[in-house]
Amino acid sequence: MKSLLLIPLFLGSLSVCAQESFRKSYEIPGAIQMEGLESRTLDQDLTIAVAGPANIHEEPVAGKMIIKRITSGPQQITIVEGIAVMNGSGTSVVIPAGSKITTKESIHLKKEAKVKYAEVANHPNILPADKLKIKTKTEATYPDGAVLEFKEELDLPGGKAQRVKRITVDQAFRDTLKIPVALDFESTKADKGFVKFDEDKIWINPNLINFESEGMYYYQLTNRQTLKLKFTEWTVSALTLPIKYRFSGDKDGKSLSEEFTTSVNLNLFAGYAFSGLSKFHHREKVGNVTNTRKWTVGGLIGASTVTLNKGNTTAAQDPIKDDTEITKGLLSLGGGVTYSFNKINIGLFTGWDLSVGDRAQDWNYNKKQWLGIAVGYSLLSY
């Protein structure tokens, strides 16, 4: 019988929630594994370019350290069967034909940095193919023998003056140039920070606990690729509970039946989102999509009124027996948990109403537990 009585609670507890979410603090892993795993057997040798030892994972097998996993760009390759070998220069790994491998796509956190041209050739985090591109582009832009002209301002006794300075390009000049590059950034520990989704990049503003203060950090997505990031946050919401279900029980030896009550009330809910997840989906030309869901637990405090009459004071020592009605204030205290998907919110709450003033104890359900559900649509930005 009680389960049937609860049905109107779900259908009738509609509320509009005014929600203010403080900035989400996202977890920022160095690499994120994408869903889906490809497995295949090689019909010919596979050569994989690597930036350096940090991209190679070895495991002990039969007393020897054997290459088992390789990170190359957005791919992580695991060798299930077979033995891979590294070339003499340490710039590539060869997996022989007949080996069984699995490939999983991953998105690496990147750092926007500038590296001196003289350091590019031996930089451990720049792939050989990228080094070649940088070399080709730089030498084409600044060929040997080219003359560069720029104006230089001078402070003279008679005032300021300008002169044209000329520089002839050579290797020494190119070595001083700072080349913008995107480097994979591997944090030693999980960190947190704030994010902004713009075009194909999710920009990261980290807390700088495990990050360097210089440079910009970001994840870069390809078309139709989705990145998932976990977050936590504090949330404050104003909500109403139009219908409350009150449990049956007893008071001073007199039995109380279960009941539904409807009233106008205003509650302030403050909670902590302990399980938040945002999905950032990149779509070229037509615009990106971000979907966010979270579970929030917290407490509420609210205010409303109740009208005492002969129907709801039957368990009082001095119940109302005529048509007299007395309006009393109620203070609501309680807590609950909510689930939110974008701007849609649903919450389950429980608490107690405390009547205030003379004859406060006469109300049958004073300090008795209630159950309520709030369903709402946030009118504010999420």
HEC letters along the chain: CHHHHCHHHHHHCECCCEEEECCCEEEECCEEECCCCEEEECCCCEEEECCCHHHEEEEEECCEEEEEEEEECCEEEEEEECCCEECCCCCEEEECCCCEEEEEEEEECEEEEEEEHHHHCCCCCCCHHHHHHHHHHHHHHCCCCCEEEEEEEEEECCEEEEEEEEEECCHHHHHHCEEEEEEECCCCCCEEEEEEEECCEEEEEECCCCCCCCCEEEEECCCCCEEEEEEEEEEEEEECCCEEEECCEEECCEEECCEEEECCCEEEEEEEEEEEEEEEECCCCCCCEEEEEEEEEEEEEEEEEEEECCCCCCCCCCCCCCCCCEEEEEEEEEEEEEEEECCEEEEEEEEEEEEECCCHHHCCCCCCEEEEEEEEECCCCC
What is the pLDDT at residue 5? 37
What is the pLDDT at residue 7? 36
**Quick one: 169 and 242 in the same domain?**
no
Domain presence at residue 30: no
Domain presence at residue 296: yes
Residues 95/46, Cβ–Cβ less than 8 Å? yes
Which of 183, 217, 238 marks a domain boundary? 183
Total count of domains within the chain: 2
**Quick one: 6 and 138 in the same domain?**
no
**Quick one: 342 and 278 in the same domain?**
yes
**Any idea how long the chain is?**
382
Q: Tell which residue, 240, 274, 245, has the closest CA to residue 258.
A: 245
**Quick one: 258 and 348 in the same domain?**
yes
Residues 232/298, Cβ–Cβ less than 8 Å? no
Domain presence at residue 221: no
**Quick one: 166 and 253 in the same domain?**
no
Residue pointed to by tokens 């005492």: 308
**Quick one: 359 and 243 in the same domain?**
yes
Which of 156, 183, 210 marks a domain boundary? 183
**Quick one: 169 and 238 in the same domain?**
no
Domain presence at residue 189: no
Which of 125, 155, 183 marks a domain boundary? 183
**Quick one: 321 and 260 in the same domain?**
yes
**Quick one: 242 and 326 in the same domain?**
yes
Domain presence at residue 147: yes
Domain holding 152, by residue range, is 110-183
**Quick one: 338 and 248 in the same domain?**
yes
Q: Tell which residue, 295, 291, 323, 290, has the closest CA to residue 309.
A: 323
Domain presence at residue 160: yes
Residues 6+ apart with CB under 8 A from 119: none
What is the pLDDT at residue 378? 63
Domain presence at residue 235: yes
What is the pLDDT at residue 349? 92
pLDDT in tens, 93-120: 888 899 898 887 788 888 888 889 999 8
Long-range contacts, 378-381 (Cβ 8 Å, 24+): 378/17, 378/18, 378/19, 378/340, 378/343, 378/344, 378/345, 379/16, 379/18, 379/343, 380/18, 380/19, 380/20
What is the pLDDT at residue 224? 87
In the predicted model, residues of the chain with pLDDT beneath 70 are 1-23, 52-54, 73, 186-190, 208-214, 377-382
